[in-house]
Structure 1
Amino acid sequence: MNNLQDLQGKTIVITGASSGAGRAAALEFAKYRTKLVLAARNEAALNEVKSECEELGAQAIVLVTDTGDSKAMIALANAANDWQGRLDAWVNNAGILAAGDFDKTPMAVHEQVIRTNLLGYMNGTHAVLPIFKTQGHGIIINNISIGGFLPVPYGAGYTAAKFGLRGWSEALKGELSAFPDIYVCDLYPAFLDTPGIQHAANYTGKVLKPAPPVYDPVRLAHAMVKAAADPSSNTYIGSVSLLLKLSHAIFPELTTKMTGFVMHKYLNMADPIALSDGNVFNTVDYGMSTHGGFGLPGEPKAHRKYIAGVLITGLALGIYLVSKRK
């Protein structure tokens, strides 16, 4: 299935399809007249996405699902398979965010972040794998993010989930080596311009914004479509993603300190805001578009000045930390 046009008629499940990258992916897949199963907690938003996908030529159904509920995910996989009698690709995408000092953020929030961001992917894959094994083929696409390599200070639960996702997926790939037509594709986008940060549980007491550069979620959607047509084990979306992975691999201590430094500096300067648990426990009725309004105009080359800025800042911080040790 190396040609994108071969996606026509394929049945694809997308979790977290109500907003952000999931919504962008649904719209991108719809252009190829696919059969889409749209899953998330927000039924109203899912129905909007369904209508938009149908206008683009796709067929779509909506299944309200909490990915943290393993039984609900089994029901999702079975209903999706029954709809067309087959499943071709499963996109694990649903995720939530929580920011705050680890000890000041309720453990219930940390647990829910891990339940959604880690166990949600595991639940979905556990539900769909028997179907893929029975039919002899299938593609699992995991939106892991660069958070699978780079720790996020004030997002300890999120980091635990993302690091766990990477390890789980690598183990799964080894296990599935006996099934050459079942693929696991991991995507590692850099920071995206989605509403996710607006939905985040916020225990910092400060307004949250993504660190530049932020990338268009449509770029991730393109990568998801490409993975469904031509599976690849690991894909990095945005040059910053690969840069941050390499930085942490080569200079783990320095990179971790740099991320902490950047976060400390931002939170000291950010405007105050009331504490909130966002959409961690319940869906919200705002910010359900593909974009969050944090993006930068222009092509990917427009981010080069920000990448250069990150490199210069990192170098300066590294020199400073080394000098402090002497």
Structure 2
Amino acid sequence: MPRIQGSVVVIAGASSGIGRATAQHLARHGAHLVLASRRAETLEVVRGECERLGADAIAVPTDVTDAAAVRALAEAARARFGRIDVWINNAGVGTVGPFDEVPIEEHEQTIRTNLLGQVNGAHAVLPVFKRQGAGVLINLLSIGTWVPTPYASSYAASKSGLRGFTESLRAELQDRPDLHVCDVFPSVVDTPGLRHGANHTGQKIEVAGPMTSPFEVAETVASLIRRPRDSAVIGVAAWASRLAAAVAPKPLRWAVGVVMKRGLSIGEKGSRARPGEAQGGSAGNLFAPPEDHAVYGGFRKGAAVRIPTKAWMAAAGIIGFWLARRR
């Protein structure tokens, strides 16, 4: 893997989930890593882990909502390694609950982190790429880019905004063939993200059905480093959602609304949470980093609110029936 070994890679959001899995994966293949997230002690754990796997790594505590801090992250990478070959925008947060019951500050912070955080990353690294004449910018998006995400509307807004941002950036850079902007669209990934986020549903949230491994996403990110391309879609659910959004948007919107409402009304005995209760406090990790920095979320082990697999199958059947009638 010549494009990974020896490459200088900055990972924003490296402390858990997809970011930590990506750091481990790239470390195994000899990348030089610059790890960023808000909690310094967590980053040191990940840095030590990556060094044991064979990487030369540094940890730079960074809040991606602070543009000056993100510029300092880019400077720290250049000061240590002399260049930046790859920048991965992965930091993300979310808040779940009825739109008008979620504090407006939480909606703002979700968009500030997920959208402006990636804008800050691109703004810090693109001048470096231009001076070098080459570079790969990788942005983590979501199937929420295409599919309505009821009870997580500001998260969907941030991811949809990212798609518009990256498409526009690619158009602006089209005369620079060695500067690449790549989007990653994973399906539902088993990370601690939902546990970390703010929760105003009155339920502990779990996800049922097939989920993507964080390491599958990490492998896709590695493939983009080796062979940059505009986008990579991960998982059957992501492809199916994209197709349904294109050919049957109204039935999809109805089905997703029904499924999510049903899922958030189901809880096993003893699993109910007070409105606003989430790991780390009512606002979760929106304004302060979580203590948990695991790769996996372990959602198949918990017993709480589940988005029922049968309901998803019913939604798919309804969409299929509608398409058949259209034809």
TM-score with structure 2 setting the length: 0.90
- Partners of 2:256 and 2:315 within 8 A in 1: no
Of residues 273, 282, 289, the one that matches 2:294 is: 289
Q: CA RMSD in A?
A: 2.1
Instruction: Give per-residue Cα distances to partners, 1:257-316, cap 9 Å, x unaligned.
Output: 111111110111123345111000111212x111011259xxxxxxxxx99957741244
Rounded to whole Å, the distance in 1 between the matches of 2:86 and 2:308 is: 34
Provide the C-alpha distance between the structure 2 equivalents of 1:254 and 1:77, rounded to a whole number of angstroms.
Answer: 44
Judging by fraction of residues, say which structure has more helix.
1
Counterpart in 2 of 1:44?
41
Q: Does 1:208 align with 2:205?
A: yes
Contact 2:263 2:308 in 1 (8 A): no
> 1:182: which partner in 2?
179
Give the C-alpha shift of residue 148 in structure 1. Answer: 1.2
Displacement after TM superposition at 1:8 (Å): 1.2
Q: 1:209-237, CA deviations, whole angstroms, 9 ceiling, x for partnerless residues?
A: 23522111100000111111111111011
- Cα separation, 2, equivalents of 1:195 and 1:144: 17
Say if 1:213 and 1:307, in contact at 8 Å, map to a contact too. no
Matched residue SS, 1:103: helix
Contact 1:143 1:188 in 2 (8 A): yes
Percent identity over paired residues = 41
Report the Cα distance in structure 1 between the residues aligned to 2:48 and 2:111, rounded to whole angstroms. Answer: 31
Aligned to 1:32: 29
Look up the match of 1:18.
15
Q: Which residue of 2 aligns with 1:313?
A: 314
Structure 2: distance between partners of 1:274 and 1:100: 9
Contact 1:214–1:295 under 8 Å retained in 2: no
Corresponding residue number in structure 2 for 1:129:
126
Unaligned runs of 5+ residues in structure 2 are 277-281, 302-306
The match for 1:117 is: 114
Three-state SS of the structure 2 residue aligned to 1:78 is helix
Q: Judge conservation of contact 1:197–1:210 (CA < 8 Å) in 2.
A: no
Structure-to-structure mapping, 1:1-326, within 5 angstroms: 4-270=1-267, 271-275=272-276, 276-286=282-292, 288-294=293-299, 312-318=313-319
Comparing 268-277 and 54-63, the one that deviates more = 268-277
Task: Tell me the TM-score normalised to structure 1 length.
Answer: 0.90
For 2:230 and 2:319, the matched residues in 1 are separated by 33
Q: Shift of the alpha carbon at 1:39?
A: 0.2
Give, in whole Å, the separation in 2 of the partners of 1:313 and 1:131: 49
Larger deviation: 40-49 or 124-133?
Answer: 40-49
Question: 1:79 offset after TM fit, Å?
Answer: 1.3
Q: Which amino acid aligns with 1:314?
A: A
Q: How many residues align?
A: 309
